Chains A and B, each alone.
Chain A
Amino acid sequence: MRMAFQIAVSLLLAAPAHADTLFERLGGMDMITRISERTIDIAAADPLIGPHWEESNLVRVKAKLAEQICELSGGPCKYSGNDMVQVHKPFKFTNADFNRLVENLQQAMDESGVDHATQNRLLALLAPMQREIVTR
């Protein structure tokens, strides 16, 4: 009994203090960069929304998405991209387009082994951007 208690205490003390920040749960900047790049690659190849990206600089889009996810999840970044409303306006995105991009992101996170509770924590932060991105 006493030994079990000691083991429990040592396990609790061994747990890193900030293991619960979303940035760390996602796997830090390396993993966020990988997820962002993969998301945009999947989206660009997606027959439903791919054509939207034809004229875009995908390298820049990937970098700005990574920056944004990093900042939102509590990482050491600051989004330096264009105004979200202005940059998305010409695309006339619909809810269906927005949702398709969410599905592409879910696929990228699945492939990177991000658990679903963590995926949903990130999606909860991204979901309100629908109001900036969807214009019709």
Chain B
Amino acid sequence: MKSTMRRFACMLSAVAFPVCFGVSPALGNDNAKPLFDRGKLLATGGVSQVEGAGGAGLTTWALIGGYGSDHGLGLTAHGTLVPLDDFTFRSAGLALGVFDRLELSYSRQWFDTGGTGAALGLGEDFTFGQDIFGAKLRVAGDAVYDQDRWLPQIAIGLQHKRAKQGAILAAVGASHDTGTDFYLAATKIFLKHSLLANATVRFTKANQFGLLGFGGADDGYDATFEGSLAWLVTDHWVAGVDYRTKPDNLAFAREEDAMAAYVAWFPSKHVSVTVGYADLGEIALQDNQQGLYLSLQMGF
């Protein structure tokens, strides 16, 4: 009864109460195990992708973020910094994995125009931004255990995005300052070859991930693609590449596909560090936006 109540308290709070993390010596009694059980294998939750969902770099994977097993929860927090040639991208957020089935995430993004803001007539350090509320549901397959089957792990998800600076977004031609992306993701781990492959189809109106609003000259949903190929170098190191197509809705500026290459280090289930290189193409008339991709994830 007591442990049931403790579990319930953890569920309700869904935040880091120490009571949820105590390792109980008693076994054979499921209720005695900590709810935040870190029961998944290292790196099998991926890291936090650019919009705060479980994935890597620019792509959303079908894996549920964090280390909660199918009887547990996993909470992660991330911070990401991408200093581009003419802008600086930052994000921070939280994600909760529930029973390795459902992932709920929140992320805040900042896109600082720095000195370029003045040149664009927005003012120096003018900052675009958005809140992203995500939900992902695993619907089939298991990326880790299904090594003898072709079926990948499959998940469906949505990301509801609420952009800041609505007046400016309207002025540059965006139709909306909020939008919702829907996606279908498939992730397969080919353990025999130490490889992970991911393919995601996203239906979106977002301009530059939503930072420049939604829709424009073209206000329909586009089907875009996100692909990843990653090499599981050791159980602590993963190296990968991402490619992501994007809509091109705004009349005033061209939008291009994005790509990234990175190395992620998993010293433990509590922390991962991703260091890479991102090429986001032309953004707001500034071509060839490239830079370092740095991301830190903490996990409970």
Q: Which A positions have Cβ atoms within 8 angstroms of B?
A: 47-49, 51-52, 92, 94-96, 99-100, 102-103, 106, 116-117, 119-121, 123-125, 127-128, 130-131, 136
In the complex formed, the residue of B with least CB distance to A126 is: B147
User: Given the known A-B contacts A94-B71, A130-B145, are A51 and B192 also in contact in the complex, defined by CB atoms under 8 Å?
Assistant: no
* A residues near B69, Cβ cutoff 8 Å: 94-96, 99
When chains A and B are docked, how far (Å) is the Cα of A61 from the Cα of B2? 36
Q: Does B23 contact A (CB under 8 A)?
A: yes
A47/B70 contact (C-beta < 8 A), A96-B37, A124-B192, A130-B145 known: no
- With A94-B39, A96-B71, A99-B40 given, is the CB distance from A123 to B191 under 8 Å? yes
Nearest CB in chain B to that of A52: its residue: B27
User: Do A131 and B41 touch (CB < 8 A)?
Assistant: no
- Bound: A131/B144 CA distance, A: 12
Shortest C-beta distance, A15 to chain B (Å), equals 21
Given contacts A51-B27, A128-B147, contact A121 B192 (CB under 8 A): yes
- The answer to whether B147 touches A116 (Cβ under 8 A) is no
Contacts between the two chains (Cβ within 8 Å), count: 73
Given A47-B23, A94-B69, A128-B148, 8 additional A-B pairs, CB 8 A: A95-B40, A99-B39, A99-B69, A103-B41, A116-B234, A120-B232, A124-B147, A124-B191
Contacts of B93 in A (CB 8 A): none
Most buried by B among A96, A106, A119, A121: A96
Interface residues in B, total, Cβ within 8 A: 32
Residue in B closest to A100 when the chains form the complex, CB atoms? B39
Query: Cβ of B71 and Cβ of A120 under 8 Å apart?
Result: no
Given A116-B234, A120-B194, A125-B147; A102-B27 close (CB under 8 Å)? no
Q: Is B28 an interface residue (CB 8 A)?
A: yes
Decide if B233 is an interface residue (CB 8 Å cutoff).
yes
Nearest CB of B to A14, in Å: 26
Bound-state CA distance A128–B232 (Å) is 19
Partner of B145, one of A106, A121, A131: A131
Interface of A is mostly: helix
Do residues B145 and A47 form an inter-chain contact, with CB atoms below 8 A?
no
- The answer to whether the Cβ of B235 comes within 8 Å of any Cβ in the partner chain is yes
User: Interface 1/0s, chain B 15-51, versus A by CB < 8 A?
Assistant: 0000000010101101001000101111000000000
Report how far A92 CA is from B71 CA in the complex, Å. Answer: 13
Residue of A nearest to B233 (CB): A116
Q: Which residues of B contact A117 (CB under 8 A)?
A: 194
B157 CB within 8 Å of chain A: no
Contacts of A51 in B (CB 8 A): 27-28
Give chain B residues whose Cβ lies under 8 Å from the Cβ of A94.
30, 39, 69-71
A selection of 18 A-B contacts at a CB cut-off of 8 Å is A48-B23, A92-B28, A94-B39, A95-B69, A96-B37, A96-B40, A96-B71, A116-B234, A117-B194, A120-B194, A120-B232, A121-B192, A127-B144, A127-B147, A127-B148, A128-B147, A128-B149, A136-B30
Nearest A residue (CB) for B190 = A124
Question: In the bound complex, what is the Cα–Cα distance between A128 and B149 (angstroms)?
Answer: 9
Report the minimal beta-carbon distance from B48 to chain A, rounded to whole angstroms: 21
On whether the beta carbons of A120 and B233 are closer than 8 Å, the reply is no
Chain A residues whose C-beta falls within 8 Å of the C-beta of B233 in the assembled complex: 116
A99 touches B41 (CB 8 A): yes
In chain B, positions 145-161 with a C-beta closer than 8 Å to chain A are 145-149
Query: Min CB distance, A136 to chain B, in Å?
Result: 8
- Say how far B266's CB is from chain A's closest CB, in angstroms: 13
